[in-house]
Structure 1
Amino acid sequence: MATSDIGLSDSDDDTLVDTTFLAPLDTLSSEEDENSDDECPSTSKTTKGQSWKRHDGPLPSWIPDFTSTPDDSQQWVSWSPSDYLVQYVPHEVFEMMAFAMNTTHVQETGKSLETSVEELKMFFGISLTMSCLCYPQIRMYWMKKTRVPLVADNMTKNRYFKLRRRPKLVNELDVSEQEKEKDRLWRIRPLVSFLLEGCHKLPREENVSIDEQMIPFSGRTHS
């Protein structure tokens, strides 16, 4: 059973290697194939060895020029937790959500959901609280013996479930079919944009080191 705020159920390693003297992958693989011929017959066709050429000039790169960011970290000393949140999830996000949820509800039922920015902020605050307490069922936050005033005193159970069933950040009718096919994150694109904008405000150096163990990779590389 998931224990996140939204997912709760109602029942609910760097060594630089000089590649100048490395043999092509095709050569290595062909040697392995020759050694394995005695063990089992191979039905694959012999491929022509790849020709490697030395490149002395600069390597092409798609990485843009580095743009420095002013170090304003001193101003963060007096920030409250909500100030940090606003840097990544500003007030505009909740305005967009309220508008999208209300208009979508009108299109579907003929009536407005009548939610507001303040109510949505309360909704997400309650959801964060639930993710910390981790009750097995959402309804328990309103039950008499397990009641949590921080939750129950600020929103009724029915209202919480109603908002929980209809989260919207954009109105689907405002997004063209071409945009939907082009952007798989179109439903949350505004939020992603605000998060990236907040990250770009962080001070950063031009030269950084990344431990490859931090980046899991399960794909394939091509020679």
Structure 2
Amino acid sequence: MERKNKASSECDTSDYENETLFQLKKKLKTKTLTPVEDSDSESENIPLSAYIREKKPDRSNNEAPLRELNFQDITEDPDLLNVLPQLPNQEWNWSNQQFKEPCTEFKGKLEEAPHDGLLKTPFQFFKLMVTDQIISNISEQTNLYAMQKEGIQLSSTKKEIEIMIGVYLRIGLVQMPRVRAYWETESRFPPIADAIARNRFEKIATMIHLTNNMSVTDEQKKDKLWKVRPWIEQLRNRFLEIPPEENHAVDELMVSFKGKSSLKQYIRDKPNPWGFKLWGRAGASSILYDFDVYQGSFEKNANSIGVGGDVVLKLVSTLEPNNYKIFADNYFTSPSLVKALKERSFWYVGTVRSNRLRGCTLKSEKELKKEGRGSVDYRVETSCNIIALRWYDNKSVDVVSSYVGLNPVGEVRRWDK
């Protein structure tokens, strides 16, 4: 499971080339194309090597890079053209010139920190996100589903739905072997048993619904989350109404879950490795401003820069171009992402995988190790003023930024566990 998830989330183009090459070869078996060197061949099964521009070392079919093919005849066939990938054609010019720090003054409005009179209770924060309208919609859809399924008048109210949510939160805190134990005499739990009768709770729990099954189209059902999509969108809209701060981080979020679901993921080294994976954009204050549930794939477009980059662009698309600062780890970062954000007036800092810095020749980890901890090497992309920096601590760390350069350099006190 771990290897499968890791492979499906890879952002590099090499795997994409090999996969597309496989599809291309499949189509080549049914097409008669003219080889580069021998135009009079009558063979239908033309060897792939006939389309290589110059002699190359022998490779297995799965390893032959797509860029070695001669597209002179292939691109004339519209069927084959649809198979070809949209590979990035960006050429990066890295040099050791000085990085020019741009003006990145924040243009948005900063909210004042809440004082004693404005601090809210946990329940008030909950009601700020889950409004009365959201609760009322659940009540209406639950009553509708009860009539559609069993032909009964359930007559659930907004108050009962609020109690149901509260009961589930309590069950998560005080766990018992089975749900009925909260109402049984020997194990009775008053905060739940006094709030709602057992039979009423079980009846509403079997009927609770968030959307009308009869009005959903086949196209909408392609969304694996269509049954809870209204709740997700209403909740997300509430998050988007919070005034954003200047600094934002994009990362993965895990909602712990060990039941059966096609959406369940496993991510090693997470506090809760099993569960539902979300993409999230949060501020330095730990407030979540936007999110999206991962469904096992991510829709690509003609201008795709990889899964990680597309996720960042989608999550920041709800921000105004007011010089917001974006941070992310090496899963998301690439020079193409940094450039795309800069063109939209967003400034970026993030660690990056060294194989994504094509054409950028930084000192090796061994060379930096000889210079000692704190040694640095950097290169600047001349066309869009992006800096790539390799810094050595216990091992080398690669960073890419569009607004922070090499300086200032300072010292910090280190604390071990």
Instruction: Bin the TM-score by the shorter chain.
Output: 0.5 to 0.7
Q: Which residue of 2 aligns with 1:60?
A: none
Residue 207 in 1 paired to residue 325 in 2?
A: yes
Provide, for residues 94-116 of structure 1, a one-character-per-residue CA deviation record: whole Å limited to 9, x for no partner. 11111111111112222211100
- Which structure has more relative contact order (CA 8 Å, sep 6+)? It is 1
Q: Offset at 1:67?
A: 9.0
Aligned counterparts, 1:1-223, within 5 A: 42=60, 44=62, 46-47=64-65, 49=68, 54=91, 68=108, 71=111, 73-74=113-114, 77-181=118-222, 183-200=223-240, 201-205=242-246, 206-212=324-330
- TM-score, normalization: structure 1? 0.64
Q: Which runs of 5+ in 1 are unaligned?
A: 1-23, 27-33, 57-65, 216-220
Deviation at 1:174, TM superposition (A): 2.5
CA, structure 1 residues 104+211, in 2 after alignment: closer, same or farther (shift >3 Å)?
same
Change (3 A) 1:67 1:128: farther
Higher relative helix content: 1
- Taking a change above 3 Å as real, the CA distance of residues 69 and 89 of structure 1, as seen in their structure-2 partners, is farther
More strand by share: 2
What is the CA–CA distance in structure 1 between the aligned matches of 2:330 and 2:205, rounded to whole Å?
38
Using a 3 Å threshold, how does the CA distance of structure 1 residues 43 and 170 change in structure 2: closer, same or farther?
Answer: closer
Task: Pick which of 116-125 and 195-204 moved more.
Answer: 195-204
SS in 2 for 1:194: helix
Q: For residues 52 and 158 of structure 1, what CA distance do their matches in structure 2 show?
A: 64
Cα shift at 1:195: 2.0
Q: Aligned equivalents of 1:133 and 1:158: distance in 2?
A: 20
TM-score (norm 2): 0.36
Deviation of 1:53 after TM superposition, in Å, equals 6.1
Distance 2:107 2:208 in 1: 36
Q: 1: CA distance between counterparts of 2:172 and 2:187?
A: 15
> Closer, same or farther in 2 for the Cα pair 1:118/1:212, shift >3 Å?
farther
Tell me, in whole angstroms, the C-alpha distance in 2 between the residues paired with 1:85 and 1:141.
24
- State the alpha-carbon separation in 2 of the partners of residues 214 and 43 from structure 1: 30
* 5+ long unaligned stretches in structure 2: 1-12, 16-56, 70-87, 94-105, 247-323, 334-355, 359-417
CA distance in 2, matches of 1:116, 1:98: 6
Q: 1:54 to 1:203 in 2, by over 3 A?
A: closer
Distance 2:112 2:119 in 1: 12
Q: How far has the Cα of 1:170 moved from its partner?
A: 1.1
CA gap 1:172/1:73 in 2 versus in 1, 3 angstroms: farther
Give the secondary-structure state (helix, strand or coil) at the position aligned to 1:128: helix
C-alpha distance in structure 2 between counterparts of 1:85 and 1:129, whole Å: 15
Change (3 A) 1:151 1:55: same
Residue 122 of structure 1 deviates from its aligned partner by 0.6
Shift of 1:92: 1.2
